[in-house]
Amino acid sequence: MERDAERGRMLVEESREAVVVLDERDVVVLASRRARQSIDGIVEGQSLPLGVLSGERGLVPLVVPYEVDGGVERLVYLSREGDLAAYEELRAGFTAAVSHELRTPLARLLSLLETAMLPGEDVASLVEQARAEVEQVRELIDEVLFLSELESGARVVALGAVPILPELELAAAELEERAGRAGVALRVEGDDSIELPLRPRMVRVIAQNLTENAIRYAGPGAAFTISVERIDGEIVLRGADDGVGASEAELARLFERFYRADRARASRGTGLGLAIVKHIVTQSGGVVEARAGATGRGLEIRCTYPSR
């Protein structure tokens, strides 16, 4: 029973929605982090602020009553007026972007297949190029689905704290051969006692995407370091390279879906890796930002969490 209760508390706490659990007297039994941060006056153990359930605060409540230990409690989902319209606008834009990104590899694939039908062509080489285009489409679809699951809440990002350094080392080991082919040296550094509220799989996704970004764009001869450390009372998970870097204008857009700088457009990247990093970090209570490298070269992606 205690384990079930703790599991239920964690699911409410980490929900992407503003969720509260009320007892029969409208006292807040549980509240998600988002509810506490986005709605003034919501405190566990205190009465729900007036106007929250009536809609006077611009909130739309969805109330789910249930019985527990002979009493009645209510699970209340709170959304703001206009959220649905904003979501539909976002969904439409996302769908259009995905369609646009799929057209390019599919057009190249069609061209390669048509060329392979011509007499005297190197069919084996063309088939290999076509295979690469199919792989590009597969990677794009996988990342679109993963990002959609993150945004919908279908992917649980955090269920408890885990040691970070071992997961960073696993991710780097998986990409070491690929980094070597690109001429990028990989390093992993940090304090092995540091934990963060992330599932191990999500830590590896962050590390893999940051590392792949450096492999694709830092350039031959660059070094990339992924690290975790305590700085000024905060925990910082950081990926930094000393490669070609990004301009100030590019830094502001790196976390946008499908964004790639002009010089990166020839890359096989999907333009979703850093968007996925941002969603995982923000959903688990952190903040992510892009900076120019400390030496004036390269790129640093910094994920910052309150120290536990």
The model's pLDDT over 44-91, given as tens digits with 9 standing for 90+, comes to 888 888 888 877 777 778 888 887 777 788 888 887 655 555 455 545
d(CA 274, CA 272): 6
Look at residue 13 in the predicted model and tell me its pLDDT: 72
73 Ramachandran zone, left/alpha/beta (phi>0; psi -120 to 50): beta
In the beta sheet, which residues pair with residue 108? none
CB 172 within 8 A of CB 225: no
Q: Are strands 223-231 and 185-190 parallel, antiparallel or unpaired?
A: parallel
Helices (H) and strands (E) in the chain, counts: 8, 11
pLDDT at 153: 56
> Given its phi and psi angles, is residue 77 left (phi above 0), alpha (psi -120 to 50 degrees) or beta?
beta
What are the residue ranges spanned by the domains of the chain? 2-80, 83-152, 162-306
Say what the pLDDT of residue 265 is: 43
Q: Do domains 2-80 and 162-306 have the same CATH topology?
A: no
Q: What is the pLDDT of residue 226?
A: 95
- Sites in the chain below the pLDDT cut of 50: 86, 90, 154, 262-266
Q: CATH number of 83-152: 3.20.20.140, 3.40.190.10, 3.40.50.620, 1.10.287.130?
A: 1.10.287.130
Main-chain dihedrals φ then ψ at residue 21, nearest 5 degrees:
-110, 125
Rounded to 10 degrees, what is the CA torsion of 292, 304, 199, 212?
Answer: 0
CATH number, domain 162-306: 3.30.565.10
pLDDT of residue 135: 76
Distance CA 263, CA 250 (A): 11
2-80: CATH architecture: 2-Layer Sandwich (3.30)
